[in-house]
Amino acid sequence: MSFEAENTQLVLVVRQNRYLGFLLTPYLVQRENKNFLTAQQAFSTKEQENLETNWEKALHEHALNTEPHEIANRFHRQKIQASSYFEQLERRSLNMVIMPFVWKQTHKILQIGLQNNLPIYKGASWPNLYPDQELSFQQETTKLLLHFERTPEKTLYKLKLSLGSKKITLNPTDLLLSNQPCLVVNGNQLLHFDPEINGKLLLPFFRKKVIEIPRRTEKQYFEQFIRKMANHIEIEAIGFELIDLNPEPVAQLLIEENWKGNQGLSLKFIYDNKHIYPHHKQQRFTSLITDESGFVFRRVNRDKQREQQYIDTLKSFGFKQDESFFELDHNLEDQLEQLIYFLQDNNELLNEAGFQVDQPEEASYVLSKPYIDFNSTAKKDWFDLHIIVKAGTIEFPFLALRNHLIQGKKLYRLSNGQLFLIPQNW
């Protein structure tokens, strides 16, 4: 680190901001007392040109993005004081625009912190940070289940959380650090959930163990609230009609970067429009159907045997599994390039095995194996030779790659926006 010589340590601290609620903020701290650390400076206030490593610069940028004055200048047309901006900001804009941006920065800050082993503290005794305030990040995903029980007078529902075999209990002193991705400070541990989970679901259970829904408001409550959650969370239902379905899963692969910064393939299984990670312990997915006769829970069951066949197929290609993430040798340089080359070479085999490869629109690569087609046209006194690059349904003149080949550039952007990775032997 660029500040080790200053006898200064970099940590992450959960602190409350008057405008944005609880934030995960990097701070520079020193040990002025043997019993605790003392915060000296917010990392975002350090001059960026004094930072040496790329991860420090990235952390500085994301931390700066969560500062109220930076948010005010980013989202307001004219320069404005943070206090004035947030006083006139509508709550809907705060919840729908500002906070999702802040949560995204929080996720990036946490990701960088974990990659570089930065300690995480609760800032309850600010500016001092005590050993018993250090948070332990739980790498295993926290699972949740909603339990419904219908009686003649009302419906009862409660939330069940688990971390492996350990049951998790929410408390009034717990903190919701980020709605989506959902991050919760539970005692001295920092919990994270599957991407589909929104933290708003958990909030009522910080103070209540069971929620009661009177019969007279049951229909409205189920349609407005439960229907939205039913397809994302495992549900137990007593006193309701249940319909069981057993479709075959579709295996979807997504090119992405994991929290360690490694490039690979994220595997999801699709059941009846429901996406699920292989390591997810949820065994069935439930959707709610309401009609004049009442409520029906439609339950789709997973085919774990077929899922394992897909996983074994990926491993046979040389991939290593980390929950839902599959990567080739993580010590390879240019991981993303090597992954794209692999997909080009094995695209047909993956398709035959039943996999669908998906990509983000902003970085979509041509995954069909490319080849060069030579085409000649006879003229009166000569032949016109046309050299065409073909890859699946894509084709373009080889001459278009001339400058890239001369300059050693590997990526060529096609007119449709896709990225073409030039083969290594070209």
- Is residue 379, in this structure, part of any structural domain at all? yes
- Is residue 321, in this structure, part of any structural domain at all? yes
The pair of three-digit structure tokens given for residue 41, joined into one six-digit string: 């400076």
Task: Identify whether residues 258 and 227 lie together within a single domain.
Answer: no
- Is residue 366, in this structure, part of any structural domain at all? no
Task: Identify whether residues 219 and 264 lie together within a single domain.
Answer: no
Give the relative orientation of helices 54-65 and 68-75 as an angle to the nearest 10 degrees: 70
Integer CA distances (angstroms), 352 to 19, 309, 313, 347, in order: 53, 13, 11, 9
Chosen domain end from 209, 239, 269? 239
Helix (H, G, I), strand (E, B) or coil at 163: strand
Got the DSSP string for 290-326? EETTEEEEEEEE--HHHHHHHHHHHHHTTPEEETTEE
Domain, as residue range, for 222: 138-239
Task: Identify whether residues 197 and 142 lie together within a single domain.
Answer: yes
Chosen domain end from 239, 271, 301? 239
- Is residue 226, in this structure, part of any structural domain at all? yes
SS3 string, 224-235, reads HHHHHHHCCCEE
Q: Who contacts 172 (Cβ-Cβ below 8 Å, separation ≥6)?
A: 206, 207
- Residues 300, 274 contacting (CB under 8 angstroms): yes
Task: Identify whether residues 59 and 29 lie together within a single domain.
Answer: yes
The pair of three-digit structure tokens given for residue 392, joined into one six-digit string: 């699946």
Say how far apart CA 110 and CA 359 lie, in whole Å: 24
Domains contained in the chain, number: 4
- Is residue 365, in this structure, part of any structural domain at all? no
Task: Identify whether residues 323 and 415 lie together within a single domain.
Answer: no
Say how far apart CA 157 and CA 176 lie, in whole Å: 21
Task: Identify whether residues 235 and 248 lie together within a single domain.
Answer: no
Q: Residue-wise pLDDT tens for the chain (426 aa)?
A: 555 556 789 999 999 999 999 999 999 999 988 899 999 999 998 887 888 899 999 999 999 999 999 999 999 888 889 999 999 999 999 999 999 999 999 999 999 999 999 999 999 999 999 999 999 999 899 998 888 888 888 889 899 999 988 999 999 999 999 999 999 999 999 999 988 788 988 999 999 999 998 888 887 887 777 766 666 677 887 887 778 889 999 999 999 888 777 889 999 999 988 888 998 877 877 777 776 666 787 888 899 999 999 999 999 999 999 889 999 876 667 888 889 999 999 988 999 999 999 887 778 898 888 888 887 565 555 555 678 888 888 889 888 888 888 888 888 898 888 899 988 888
Task: Identify whether residues 146 and 228 lie together within a single domain.
Answer: yes
